[in-house]
């Protein structure tokens, strides 16, 4: 008998309130379209970022990335009140009609919270090992959220073993991306090469960097990648520059090309992942009930800054 899929449903106005909804009527699954993948979330993380997606979900269309399935029972099928939000992690390819990604392989990227398989049409990325979602309803998303990385079937052994590298990929890979584009393209070693700041703003030679989010994965990544000595004295003043990771990444790709950009990004990430964040305690859970409890712990403000919550479904 096929597993009855279960999804997380949130109240959009009070997203601390969640329900796990079984979807027996979602089965049997329909035939898969051409150039498509059918994936199932296998590993996900929960961070404060998930709640940011909820808070800004209407403005940035994050509620629209993974719509409520047609088989969802009332009252949770009311998309004006309820929605699904997203996470980062690994999904297994259950079926494929896309030649470059065989059944049994894995993808890393922006995933739904639940065990209901997701179907989407894709195309090859310009860099080997990447695919881009081409579904029309996903095109209002920033490119960052439609790019997926492909991994071989052998990754399943690491997932089953709950390897530390898998946990770090779920927890911090996308956060590291923000730190990487900031240190390499917003504040590069040669400030004249900054993709979005003038020479004076990009020059950190005599600057003091103040990290207001020392417990966040972005803050930790940025600090790790700066790798500079502590300042000898207090700063004389404060300068502010706003940044969006997706915009910086697009500018970086335009400057050096996709292949060179992702080669540098991946090498940087592998180095950080191997060394790890000092003091970070990865805590694995298993199944949707464990993920539900993790969400509730965030809602009750019980998750500590040194905890990293990762779940295997």
Task: Output the tens digit of pLDDT for each of the chain's 313 residues.
Answer: 678 999 999 999 999 999 999 999 999 999 999 999 999 999 999 999 999 999 999 999 999 999 999 999 999 999 999 999 999 999 999 999 999 999 999 999 999 999 999 999 999 999 999 999 999 999 999 999 999 999 999 999 999 999 999 999 999 999 999 999 999 999 998 999 999 999 998 998 888 888 777 568 888 898 888 875 454 455 555 555 666 788 999 999 999 999 999 999 999 999 999 999 999 999 999 999 999 999 999 999 999 989 999 999 9
The backbone torsions φ and ψ at residue 268, rounded to the nearest 5 degrees and listed phi first, read -65, -45
| Closest alpha carbon to 146 in 220, 269, 242, 61 | 61
Residue 246 host element (H or E): helix 245-256
| Closest alpha carbon to 306 in 271, 268, 272, 276 | 276
The backbone torsions φ and ψ at residue 52, rounded to the nearest 5 degrees and listed phi first, read -65, -40
pTM: 0.93
Strand-pairing partners, residue 200, are: none
**288 HSE (CA, 13 A, CB side):** 18
Task: Give the chain's domains with CATH numbers.
Answer: 6-161+279-312 (3.90.180), 172-275 (no CATH)
Angle, CA 291 vertex, CA 287 and CA 294 arms, to 5° = 145
| Closest alpha carbon to 312 in 281, 287, 283 | 287
Please check whether residue 149 is in contact with residue 111, taking contact to mean a CB–CB distance below 8 angstroms: no
18 DSSP assignment? E
Q: Is the preceding omega at residue 76 within 30 degrees of 0, hence cis? A: no
Distance of CA 290 to the CA centre of its chain: 19
């Amino acid at each position: 008998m096929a597993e009855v899929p279960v999804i997380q449903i949130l109240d959009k106005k009070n997203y601390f309130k969640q329900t796990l909804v079984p979807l027996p009527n979602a089965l049997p699954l329909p035939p898969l379209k051409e150039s498509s993948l059918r994936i199932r979330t296998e590993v996900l993380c929960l961070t404060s970022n998930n709640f940011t997606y909820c808070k800004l979900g209407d403005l940035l269309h994050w509620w629209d990335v993974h719509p409520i399935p047609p088989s969802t029972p009332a009252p949770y099928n009311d998309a004006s009140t309820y929605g699904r939000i997203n996470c980062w992690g690994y999904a297994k390819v259950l079926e494929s009609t896309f030649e470059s990604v065989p059944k049994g392989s894995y993808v890393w990227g922006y995933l739904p919270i639940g065990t209901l398989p997701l179907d989407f049409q894709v195309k090859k990325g310009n860099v080997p090992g990447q695919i881009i979602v081409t579904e029309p309803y996903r095109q209002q998303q920033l490119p960052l959220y439609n790019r997926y990385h492909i991994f071989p079937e052998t990754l399943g052994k690491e997932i089953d073993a709950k390897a530390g590298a898998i946990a770090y990929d779920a927890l911090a890979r996308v956060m590291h991306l923000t730190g990487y584009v900031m240190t390499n393209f917003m504040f590069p070693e040669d400030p004249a090469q900054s993709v979005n700041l003038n020479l004076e703003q990009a020059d950190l030679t005599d600057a003091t960097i103040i990290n207001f989010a020392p417990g966040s994965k972005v803050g930790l990544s940025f600090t790790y990648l700066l790798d500079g000595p502590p300042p000898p004295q207090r700063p004389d003043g404060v300068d502010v520059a706003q940044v969006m990771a997706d915009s910086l990444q697009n500018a970086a790709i335009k400057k050096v090309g996709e292949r060179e950009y992702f080669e540098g990004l991946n090498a940087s990430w592998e180095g950080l992942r191997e060394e790890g964040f000092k003091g970070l305690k990865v805590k694995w859970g298993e199944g949707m009930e464990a993920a539900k409890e993790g969400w509730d712990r965030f809602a009750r403000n019980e998750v500590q800054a040194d905890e990293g919550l990762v779940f295997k479904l």
